[in-house]
A = this chain, B = another copy of it.
Amino acid sequence: MAEEKLPTRAENFAEWYNQLVLKAELADYAPVRGCMVVRPYGWALWENITAWLDKEFKATGHVNATFPTLIPMSFFEKEKEHVEGFSPELAVVTHGGGEELEEPLVVRPTSETIIGYMYSKWVKSWRDLPILIVQWGSVLRWELRTKLFLRTAEFYWHEGHTAHATSEEAKEEMYRILDIYERFCFEQAAVPVFKGTKSETERFAGAQITTSIEAMMWDKRALQSGTSHYFGTNFAKAFEIQYLDKSNTLQFCETTSWAISSRIIGAIIMVHSDDQGLVLPPRIAPIQVVIVPIYKNEAEKAAVMEVADRTFSELKAAGIRLKMDDREEVTPGFKYNDWEMRGVPLRIEIGPKDVEKGSVALARRDKPGREGKTFVPQTNIAATVSAMLDTIQAALLEKALAFRDANIHDPKDYEELKQVVQDGWALSYWCESKACETKVKDDTRATTRNIPFNQPEHSGTCIVCGAPAKRKVYFAKSY
C-alpha cells in the first residue's frame, strides 16, 4: 500500500523514479547484484506490451523460437567487434554438475552468435529464406550502475534475428521493424519517438547500420527505446550462414537483429507520470478502470453496491480491464491515493448521491483534481467509459508531443548548443565526424542520439566545426 508520498520530480527526479517503481509495485530489488524482480503489476504491464508486439510480428510473417540461455565462450570470439563490445559485460559459467567445464559458457547478453550458428545449419537454399525468428526472454549484461527497468543486469526483451538473400531485403526488414516500434510507441505507449540512424560510435557491436527510436523523458534526457540493426554479411561470414542461390552459387546471407526491452517501461514512467505516482496509457494499463464505492452505513452500502456491481458487469462485458475496490478497512481517500500511485487511468466513484441522480463520477488520472472530474449518466456507461479511455490515451500523447517539441532547439552556433543541451535537445547539422561528436560529449556530456530519417531539404554546416554537413542529428544527454 502506498502509505507515503513520493518526493516531487523537481526535488529529486532520480529518487522520485526509484520510489515510484517500488511503491506502485512494478518491480523490486533482487538479492542478486544489479537484478530486479518484476512484480505481478509490472509483469502484467509487460504482458500487454509484448502481446501487441507479438501480434504485429506474427502478422508480418515472423515466428517465435527459443535458443539456449548459455552460449559457448568461443562463439563470441568469432565476430571481432561483437566480442569487443560484449566481453566486459559477460557472466561466465565455469562449473556444471560439480565439475569444471572444459569450455566456459556465457549467460547470453544477446543471441546473434548462437542463432547464427543454428542458421548456418538450417539455411541451405534460397528456398529457406527469409528466416524470420523472434525470441522472447531475458539476457544478462554485467552492468555497473543499475536502475530498475532502465538498466538492470538481467533484463527482459524480444530479440528478432532474420536472414535474407539480399541486402535490400535485409534493410527493408530493419526499417519494417522500426516502423512497428514507432507505431507501438505512438499508438500504445503514447510515447512520441524519433526514428533515425545511429552514428558509427553509437552502433551496436558488429552492425553495419543501427537504427533507433529515441524518446524524451520528463527531465529532457533522451532514452533509446528500441533498436533495429543491419549486419550486412558480418555475422553470416563469422558463422558461415550460406545459401545456394537460384543459379546454384553459394552466397552469404544478409542478417538483421532488433529489440525492445523492459527498459520501455522506464520510458513510459518517465514520460507520463507525475508527483502523485504512475500514469499509464489506457491501452497498456493492466487495470484501466477502478470502481470505488462510497457509503457510510449499511443502507447506503446496499444501494451503492447495486449500482457499483451493475457498472462493473457492464464494463467487464465490454472488455474493459477493471477492478472493484470494495475494501472495508480503508477510506475512499486512501483508495484514491492508492490507485493514483498505480496509475490506473480512470476512477469511477459511486456514492449515495450518484444513486439518487442516476450518475457516476469519472476521475481522470492524467488530470488530477476538479479539472479531470465529470459526472455521467449510469445508462450507457460502457460506451461513455470507452470513449473516455480513448480521450485519455490521446491526451497523453498530445501532452508528451507538446512537451517534447517545446524542448527541442535549433541553436544558432556551438555556444548556444552547449547551453540548450543542458536542459533540452538540439537538432543541428553535423559533419558526421567522430572528432566533432567527441568534442560535444566532452564539452557537454550530450551525445548524438540519432540522425532522424526526416531531414530538411537542404544541407548546411556542422554546428561544431563549420564544415559542410548533409544531415541534422539530435544531440542530448541520455539514459
- Residues of chain A having any CB pair with chain B under 8 Å: 28, 30-33, 35-40, 42-44, 47, 63-72, 75, 87-98, 104-105, 107, 114, 117-118, 121-122, 127, 133, 137-138, 140, 142, 144, 154, 156, 329
Contacts and interface: CB of A to CB of B under 8 A. Distances in A.
A393 B435 CA distance: 67
B68 A37 contact: yes
A70 B142 contact: no
A140 B40 contact: no
A88 B95 CA distance: 11
A147 to B, nearest CB: 16
Contact of A114 (B30, B44, B67): B30
Contact of A88 (B91, B97, B122, B133): B97
Contact of A64 (B44, B65, B75, B95): B44
A91 B96 contact: yes
A65 B90 CA distance: 25
A127 to B, nearest CB: 8
Contacts of A88: 97-98
A401 B40 CA distance: 39
How many copies of the shown chain assemble into the complex? 2
A262 to B, nearest CB: 9
A12 to B, nearest CB: 24
A87 B95 CA distance: 12
A31 B72 contact: yes
Contacts of A32: 68, 70-72, 105, 114
Contacts of A142: 96-98
A354 B127 CA distance: 30
A94 B95 contact: yes
A44 to B, nearest CB: 7
Given A35-B68, A39-B65, A40-B64, 9 more contacts: A28-B118, A28-B121, A31-B117, A32-B114, A43-B66, A68-B154, A69-B69, A70-B107, A87-B98
Given A30-B114, A44-B64, A144-B97, A70 B35 contact: yes
A40 B58 CA distance: 12
B91 A93 contact: yes
Nearest to A138: B69
Contacts of A38: 65-66
Nearest to A75: B31
A69 B154 contact: yes
A479 B69 CA distance: 25
A83 to B, nearest CB: 13
